[in-house]
Amino acid sequence: MANANGKAATSLPEKISAKANPEANEATEIAGNIIYHAKYSPHFSPLKFGPEQALYATAESLRDRLIQLWNETYVHFNKVDPKQTYYLSMEYLQGRALTNAIGNLNLQGPYADALRKLGYELEEIAEQEKDAALGNGGLGRLASCFLDSMATLNLPAWGYGLRYRHGLFKQIITKKGQEEIPEDWLEKFSPWEIVRHDVVFPVRFFGKVQINPDGSRKWVGGDVVQALAYDVPIPGYNTKNTISLRLWEAKARAEDLDLFQFNEGEYELAAQLHSRAQQICTVLYPGDATENGKLLRLKQQFFLCSASLQDIISRFHERSTAEGSRKWSDFPSKVAVQMNDTHPTLAIPELMRLLMDDNGLGWDEAWDVTSRTVAYTNHTVLPEALEKWSQSLMWKLLPRHMEIIEEIDKRFVQTIRDTRVDLEDKISSLSILDNNPQKPVVRMANLCVVSSHTVNGVAQLHSDILKAELFADYVSIWPNKFQNKTNGITPRRWLRFCSPELSDIITKWLKTDKWITDLDLLTGLRQFADNEELQSEWASAKIANKKRLAQYIERVTGVSIDPTSLFDIQVKRIHEYKRQLMNILGVIYRFKKLKEMKPEERKKTVPRTVMIGGKAFATYTNAKRIVKLVNDVGDVVNSDPEVNEYLKVVFVPNYNVTVAEMLIPGSELSQHISTAGMEASGTSNMKFALNGCLIIGTLDGANVEIREEVGEENFFLFGATADQVPRLRKERKDGLFKPDPRFEEAKQFVKSGVFGSYDYGPLLDSLEGNTGFGRGDYFLVGYDFPSYMDAQAKVDEAYKDRKGWLKMSILSTAGSGKFSSDRTIAQYAKEIWNIEACPVP
Ligand code: NBG
């Protein structure tokens, strides 16, 4: 590694003296504080100061600052004692923290100068940081955007999650396609987390229920592991407020080691509980919209819920003892618990248990408190992602909770019988327990709906579908329980910090940078959409970002791409409903046509670089075949001398938050092409639109609202609508579907073997036939293909009109204000949590 001057910088600079200075905000002081940490908070051999050492020392210097703000926030919340929100999520996709923290604290300039004094560029140091990838995809990233907005809006709120030792797997691409290797963010350590040795709670598994003489019940026996808190600071933008993401780690106590057995040489047996505890937080559950969990996954979920609720209750208790007057019935006016999907559903029976068995409340009182405290967000309608846990597994792991769930169900069913005779025949689908003798399960979504005061979907269309289909009968029972909260993204990470060039232009034309926290101000750009000066500045920012992206692509894939070609990107988890297969079949068709053209005809086409990236669930075979196909197509197309000037196809490996921060600013067209009704919201669509990238997409999820906001003339729409899908599937079953010749041609081309010898039969078979498992084109690729290709032709035409395209791009950014997670979170705060801002003075 070389420093800014091209020289190796491996030893501590001597000119600058080490000086602890947590309040440093001027370059020399910051540099002194960085050196102080390199010397006196050492993690490496003395005197070394390479980029890695510099990263850790820089992060620690910044952490000093954060700790101060963090403590102030904590003290202030404690003093004001507002109602607080606790966001329970099994996933957070934080990505890197350095640039974000420096940016939110507005220390960009001083930090860059300080590092330059030490021989480094800030970007180079930032590059050293590993992503905290404690999530799978959109759901986890949403949680992270929400934390940023909660802090920025000065809301009294906490994030709760698990401290997985290995986050989402790293994807490498080999000749075989995708391969997974373990992620290693904690291989050394994370400079951002602070362990709180005083925040430890016991969490029990297995055991049995003991009935006391007074009839009260107690869960006893089994394994007890300890949950230890690790806090990660979440700084708000341009505010003192810094909140916490509290991640639990599972541990056993020293006394749980059986010394006798150990001395007998039975090492594994002696440390059984230690190793079982360790397993809990070893890996992030790798599923995304797939229900594949077993005992360990259930343990993880319970571990999160139990530790978090004990923590929440102990905070409530501290007050009670201080004031001597706090009543349990006040709990919901101090605490809001938000369940991010059904993964933290066990918070419901666990809160009931803690209230009844540990704190002596009766059923009615406990139920009243619980159901006024918890709220649930649904993130999918995919049946395979609606969690159902085996009843026998639950009885084994959580016997007391199963009693409570049975009782909740019994009382709910009784109420329906008493009050709604018309729903009698719906009871079997409304109830929480599915007692089907073949496979008795607990339906977690039903438990959430029955117990929560509010249930919300994540985009208008999705919320409407929930009300009309999945939860229709519940709506008739509780018409006011259901809401919509359209997702959002933080404009700090997803525009201000990932595209400083475009941000500066926006600030210049709006004459203010207030848009960073008031994103609706972007509409002010509309009046300049035709302005040539703005257009040319806009184009120069885009090309700079495209060049940066092209360098990155060349570095990680070896493929050189032309920054003047149209950059067309689809990045998200690989899933059949997201239809990466349609994208690549479209590319294949384009390639075939280019091959058939004469050289002068080719010259008239619009050169395109198609980039596709995303991870496939390790056991999702068809998803992995899609990854392989994209790579194989890329190999053939990119090395075809007749065509590769006009078309390049790149599979971007190991898509993650950091890669997204590179791709999104450099994009011009992005694809959000899921089968209508299947993508609950999508959030990358918002990030692309915000960065002036045009969308080709279906009327699905948040696309619908994006199109409304940016204007339909600035959105390349195609495909069936959600309400047509059931009929189209039926027609297909009835043998009425007639494929477009272009679709047949593309598939045939793959079958002819142009892209190598890999057997694509099983993948293509999913598009064939009218019925049968894994057949019959459930995701309607064939039906939508012709309109997709027509929309792509419109993209090419539009791109030829440079000014027209720039105008559309500006209007896209101008129309993205609604999709700030600040708006989303403000709505949750007001309409679900009933909490208010609590800014640190
Ligand atoms: C995902 C949806 C996305 C949505 C995110 C965030 C799950 C279960 N759901 O469409 O598929 O944008 O949640 O709400 O991961």
pLDDT along the chain (841 residues), means of 10: 48 87 94 96 89 97 97 97 98 98 97 97 97 97 98 98 97 97 96 98 98 95 98 98 98 95 94 94 74 78 98 89 79 98 98 97 98 98 90 96 98 97 97 96 98 98 98 98 98 98 98 98 98 98 98 98 98 97 98 98 98 95 97 98 98 98 98 98 98 98 98 98 98 96 98 96 96 93 98 98 98 98 98 98 97
pTM of the model: 0.97
Distance 376 CA to ligand 1 centre (A): 14
pLDDT for residue 86: 98
d(CA 291, ligand 1 centre) in Å: 14
**Residue carrying structure tokens 């005083």:** 198
283 contacts: CB under 8 Å, gap ≥ 6: 164, 165, 166, 182
Q: How many CA atoms lie within 13 A of 272 on its CB side?
A: 8
* Distance in angstroms (rounded) separating the CA atoms of residues 798 and 813: 17
What percentage of the chain's residues is helix, strand, coil (to nearest 5)? Answer: 50, 15, 35
Q: Which of the residues 572, 579, 648, 747 is marked catalytic?
A: 572
What is the pLDDT at residue 2?
42
Picking from 809, 755, 747, the residue whose alpha carbon sits closest to that of residue 567 is 809
d(CA 259, CA 266): 10
Cβ neighbours, 10 Å, residue 68: 14
What is the pLDDT at residue 1? 39
Task: Report which of 604, 780, 796 is spatially closest to residue 694, judged by C-alpha positions.
Answer: 796
How many angstroms separate the CA atoms of 831 and 281, rounded? 34
Question: What number does the ligand 1 atom closest to the CA of 385 have?
Answer: 8
681 C-alpha vs ligand 1 centroid, how far in Å?
6
Q: Whose CA is nearest to atom 15 of ligand 1?
A: 139
Residue 624 annotated in active site:
no
Q: DSSP letters along 578-610, please?
A: GTHHHHHHHHHHHHHHHHHS-HHHHHTSPPEEE
Atom of ligand 1 nearest to the CA of 137: 15
d(CA 446, CA 123): 48
CB 288 less than 6 A from any atom of ligand 1: yes
Q: Give the number of the atom of ligand 1 that is nearest the alpha carbon of residue 679.
A: 10
- The reported pLDDT for the residue numbered 673 is 98
- Ligand 1: distance of its center to the CA of 521 in Å? 27
Q: Which residues is 86 bridged to in the sheet?
A: 158, 337
- Check 239, 370, 454, 683 and give the catalytic one: 683
Catalytic residue list contains 294 = no
- Active site (annotated) includes residue 345: no
Contact 219/234 with Cβ under 8 angstroms? no
d(CA 104, CA 575): 34
Q: Is 255 exposed, middle or buried (0-12, 13-18, 19+ CB in 10 A)?
A: exposed
Give distance in angstroms: CA of 443 to centre of ligand 1: 19
CA distance 581 to 593: 18
Atom number, ligand 1, closest to the C-alpha of residue 138: 5
Is any atom of ligand 1 closer than 6 Å to the C-beta of 135? Answer: no
Annotated catalytic residue: which of 246, 379, 542, 732?
379
At 10, list the tokens: 């491996």
User: Residue 174 C-alpha to ligand 1 middle, in angstroms?
Assistant: 29
C-beta of 387 in contact with ligand 1 (< 6 A): no
Distance 810 CA to ligand 1 centre (A): 27
State whether the beta carbon of 379 lies less than 6 angstroms from ligand 1: yes
List the structure tokens of 427.
């009871």
The encoded tokens of residue 199 equal 């925040």
The answer to whether 218 is a known catalytic residue is no
Q: Which residue has the least CA distance to atom 9 on ligand 1?
A: 379
Quick check: CB of 357 below 6 Å from ligand 1? no
Give the C-alpha separation, 417 to 415, whole Å: 5
Which one of 380, 484, 617 would you pick to mutate in the ligand 1 pocket, going by the greatest count of ligand atoms within 8 A of its CB? Answer: 380
Predicted confidence at residue 3, as pLDDT, reads: 44
289 touches ligand 1 (CB under 6 Å): yes
Task: Tell me what pLDDT residue 319 has.
Answer: 76
DSSP state, residue 188: S
Residues 6 or more apart whose CB falls under 8 angstroms from that of 150 comprise: 85, 87, 157, 159, 234, 236, 243, 825
Comparing CA positions, the residue from 798, 525, 827, 572 lying closest to residue 683 is 572
Cα 306 to ligand 1 centroid, rounded to whole Å: 25
Q: Alpha-carbon distance 701 to 692, whole Å?
A: 20
Candidate from 89, 90, 93, 139 with most ligand 1 atoms within 8 A of CB, to mutate = 139
Residue nearest to atom 12 of ligand 1 (CA): 682
- Bridge partners for 48 per DSSP: 11
Length of the chain: 841
Active site residue 683: yes
Place of tokens 């905070």: 315
Residue 80 near residue 838, CB atoms below 8 Å: yes
CA distance 288 to 383: 13
Distance of alpha carbon 758 from alpha carbon 744, whole angstroms: 20
Burial of 222 (0-12, 13-18, 19+ CB in 10 A): middle
**226 vs 250: CA distance, rounded Å:** 6
Active-site residue (options: 578, 608, 648, 729): 578
Q: Which of 341, 467, 382 has its CA nearest to residue 674?
A: 382
